[in-house]
């Protein structure tokens, strides 16, 4: 996140973008705005430079607030409307308006994006972006800047707009706080910004400190409805985002919002989206990518003069821009170096937001994104698709997208590069301390970690060496991690965990009334299974082995860790992770077919059955995992990249479109196969 010296404005400022059909939409919008709203409104339109601007006069007839044409160095005041003049770009700096000649030729100008970015830098969380009727996609990129700084986004409902191009493009970002008719947006903005006189500010804001028991109830409701745990996110971030939703619904007390969440499950999904803060762009923070291109990628190639299949992971990838940026840079480096050996880069891009992953997989971006990409790269790596651009096949095939919770799910390993930018700043310090050693473990010796501009290594500084400059790029040091396993806040899928902790099963010294875990498990196996199996808790901790499981599980390096995800061999961990949580949550059973598990350069094919245990009572809440090796299955030897690896990767790409969660399993299998002979 960018740092600026500008202070947030003392009052909210709304930047309003409109184009074709904008006059009618603006008139409707200002009908819902009182003359003493307490906000300033700055209207940015696409205006023909050869025509006299009549917008100021026309708007003034429709409202009591003063309407002025923006002038150089003009001080912005509340309860005023300012309109951009023809044939110029408009910026807001230090509370004043500044005019400048258009930076782009006519037809390529994006004055709304330009202004909204300066609005975000100036006003921070008090910035408001409004997108009304218009053609094209101007304003879409500016919304990301506003949202990143904590501002609010309002969009006219496309059905009510004369021209719906701009509203539809804005809505597609997933950043809109509210979509509605233009006439109703004004009142919603007043409620959101706390300018609504009949409604007191949210209780959380007035008190200055959150009501933790009620906040925990919100987190629990999110966990139930969305399956994700936000308990380790920064309280201040949670508070701001919850206050935003409270204001939109004109709810003053957090207790009332909790009740609203319980009564309206759809609101939990909207709050979930609000908390994800999926803001990104191509080549964001150019200095970072310049150093990746000039130093990091060449160093990785030089470390493998015989050629290599390199691996990278982009957690919190949002809609894919950063992953595709890395892919383009890698191709640029290969083109400039022209090595005699063969190099490939497989990028695993993951995010908590499955909707963002779907958009990333599609690889289609609005035309105004081109402002972030050079003309040469635009021509080489993108194909124009109507009013949008689609990433080329060469770039798309380098990236595998999958939904993943970086806090809860097993990580990718044996990586050469890991870029995790602007995620840690939203997490509590204790969780940051656990993620950074995990990143160290995920990287190969000499691998690189890229963090965001506002993020630091903190207590993990001894694990990485900082590259020169202010780009927050680090190289992995070959130092030993602490001996105890890294722990993460576990998702609470029910009462199974608590029941186990209270059960005599977890107390070896309990009296003779303790159930015989071997007898109970063997009886359960005889009823249902015959193969090798393990009994695990709802968190994956193994409490009993049955049969020979060595082909499928092996002890993890370091201190003993009997968690099935830590012990699973190549190809199995991703498969288990794909369905384990669902089996526990739904108290059901599931069979994974044709799972190829690798060991010591070979692999076997098996089916894996996960069964939630309801009876006997002593084992209730656990999961039985059984391994059925397929008849006639023989170990398959492989070295390096399999001959059919390319075909398998293409099959994985097609599977991404059909089944999002299954892709994480396939991605990890492909990663481990590629590592087999290296």
Question: Which residues carry out catalysis?
Answer: 19, 46, 138
Other beta carbons within 10 angstroms of residue 478's beta carbon come to: 9
Residue 202 tokens, joined: 């949210």
Angstrom distance (rounded) from CA 673 to CA 636: 12
Q: How far apart are the first and last CA of the chain?
A: 38
Distances from the Cα of 628 to the Cα of 161, 384, 542, 587, angstroms: 59, 49, 18, 21
Q: What are phi and psi of 351, to 5 degrees?
A: -160, 155
Quick one: angle between helices 235-248 and 265-276, nearest 10?
130
Angstrom distance (rounded) from CA 145 to CA 404: 25
Residue-wise DSSP of 147-169: HHTT-EEEEE-GGGSSS-HHHHH
Instruction: Specify the residue for token string 């190969």.
Output: 444
Among 411, 419, 234, 197, residue whose Cα is nearest residue 327: 419
Angstrom distance (rounded) from CA 114 to CA 372: 12
Pairing of strands 127-131, 13-18: parallel
Answer for the pair 16, 42: CB distance below 8 angstroms, yes or no.
yes
Residues in a beta bridge with 529: none
Q: What are phi and psi of 293, to 5 degrees?
A: -70, -40
**DSSP-assigned letter for residue 619:** G
Q: What are phi and psi of 388, to 5 degrees?
A: -125, 175
How many helices (H) and strands (E) the chain has is answered by 24, 26
Angstrom distance (rounded) from CA 667 to CA 317: 15
Residue 99 tokens, joined: 């005019």
Among 86, 659, 117, residue whose Cα is nearest residue 354: 659
Angstrom distance (rounded) from CA 565 to CA 488: 13
Residue-wise DSSP of 244-265: HHHHHTT---HHHHHHHHHH-H
Angstrom distance (rounded) from CA 130 to CA 475: 42
- Cβ partners under 8 Å of residue 263, min gap 6: none
Which strands, in side-by-side order, build the sheet including 343-351? 399-403, 343-351, 308-314, 415-420, 443-451, 473-476, 464-466
Query: Residue 648: which H helix or E strand, with range?
Result: helix 645-658
């Amino acid at each position: 996140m960018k740092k600026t010296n500008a202070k947030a404005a003392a009052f909210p400022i709304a930047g309003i973008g409109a184009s074709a059909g904008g006059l009618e939409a603006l008139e409707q919008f200002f009908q819902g705005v009182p003359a003493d709203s307490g906000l300033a409104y700055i209207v940015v339109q696409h205006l023909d430079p050869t025509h006299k601007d009549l917008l100021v006069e026309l708007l003034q007839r429709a409202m009591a607030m003063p309407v002025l044409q923006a002038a150089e160095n003009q001080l912005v005041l509340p309860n005023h409307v300012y309109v951009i003049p023809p044939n110029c770009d408009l910026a807001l700096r230090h509370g004043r308006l500044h005019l400048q000649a258009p930076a782009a030729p006519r037809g390529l100008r994006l004055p709304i994006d330009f202004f909204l970015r300066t609005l975000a830098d100036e006003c921070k969380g008090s910035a408001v972006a409004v997108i009304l009727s218009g053609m094209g996609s101007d304003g879409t990129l500016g919304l990301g800047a506003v949202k990143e700084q904590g501002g609010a986004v309002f969009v006219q409902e496309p059905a009510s707009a004369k021209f719906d191009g701009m509203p539809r493009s804005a809505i597609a970002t997933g950043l809109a706080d509210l979509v509605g008719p233009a006439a109703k947006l004004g009142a919603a903005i007043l409620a959101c910004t706390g300018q609504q006189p009949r409604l007191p500010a949210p209780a959380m804001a007035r008190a200055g400190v959150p009501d933790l028991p009620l906040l925990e109830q919100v987190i629990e409701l999110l966990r139930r409805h969305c399956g994700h745990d936000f308990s380790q996110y920064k309280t201040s971030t949670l508070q701001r985002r919850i206050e935003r939703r409270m204001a939109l619904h004109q709810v003053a007390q957090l207790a009332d919002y909790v009740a609203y969440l319980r009564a309206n499950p759809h609101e939990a999904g909207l709050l979930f989206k609000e908390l994800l803060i999926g803001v990104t762009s191509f080549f964001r923070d150019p200095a970072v990518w310049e150093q990746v291109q000039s130093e990091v990628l060449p160093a990785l190639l030089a470390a493998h003069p015989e050629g290599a299949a390199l691996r990278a992971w982009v957690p919190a990838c949002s809609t894919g821009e950063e992953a595709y940026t890395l892919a383009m840079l890698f191709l640029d480096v290969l083109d400039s170096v022209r090595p005699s050996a063969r190099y490939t880069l497989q990028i695993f891009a993951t995010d908590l937001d499955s909707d963002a992953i779907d958009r990333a997989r599609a690889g289609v971006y609005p035309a105004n994104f081109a402002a972030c990409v050079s003309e040469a790269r635009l021509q080489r790596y993108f194909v124009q698709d109507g009013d949008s651009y689609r990433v080329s096949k060469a770039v798309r095939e380098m990236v595998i997208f999958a939904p993943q919770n970086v806090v809860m799910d097993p990580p990718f390993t044996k990586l050469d590069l890991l870029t995790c930018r602007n995620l840690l700043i939203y997490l509590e310090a204790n969780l940051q301390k656990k993620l950074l050693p995990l990143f160290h473990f995920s990287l190969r010796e000499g691998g690189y970690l890229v963090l965001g501009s506002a993020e630091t290594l903190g207590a993990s500084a001894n694990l990485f060496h900082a590259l020169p400059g202010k780009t927050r790029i680090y190289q992995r040091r070959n130092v030993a991690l602490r001996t105890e396993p890294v722990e993460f806040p576990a998702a609470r899928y029910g009462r199974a965990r608590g029941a186990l902790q209270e059960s005599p099963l977890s107390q070896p010294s309990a009296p003779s009334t303790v159930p015989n875990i071997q007898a109970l498990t063997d009886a359960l196996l005889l009823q249902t299974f015959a193969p090798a199996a393990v009994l695990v808790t709802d968190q994956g901790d193994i409490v009993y082995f049955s049969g020979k499981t060595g082909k499928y599980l092996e002890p993890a390096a370091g201190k003993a860790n009997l968690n099935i995800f830590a012990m699973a061999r190549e190809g199995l961990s991703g498969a288990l992770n794909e369905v384990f949580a669902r089996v526990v949550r739904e108290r059901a059973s599931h069979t994974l077919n044709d799972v190829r598990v690798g060991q010591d350069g070979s692999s076997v094919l098996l089916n894996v059955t996960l069964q939630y245990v309801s009876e006997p009572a002593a084992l209730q809440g656990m999961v039985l995992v059984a391994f059925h090796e397929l008849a006639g299955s023989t170990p398959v030897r492989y070295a390096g990249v399999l001959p059919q690896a390319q075909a398998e990767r293409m099959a994985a790409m097609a599977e991404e479109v059909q089944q999002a969660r299954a892709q994480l399993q396939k991605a990890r299998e492909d990663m481990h196969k590629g590592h087999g002979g290296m």
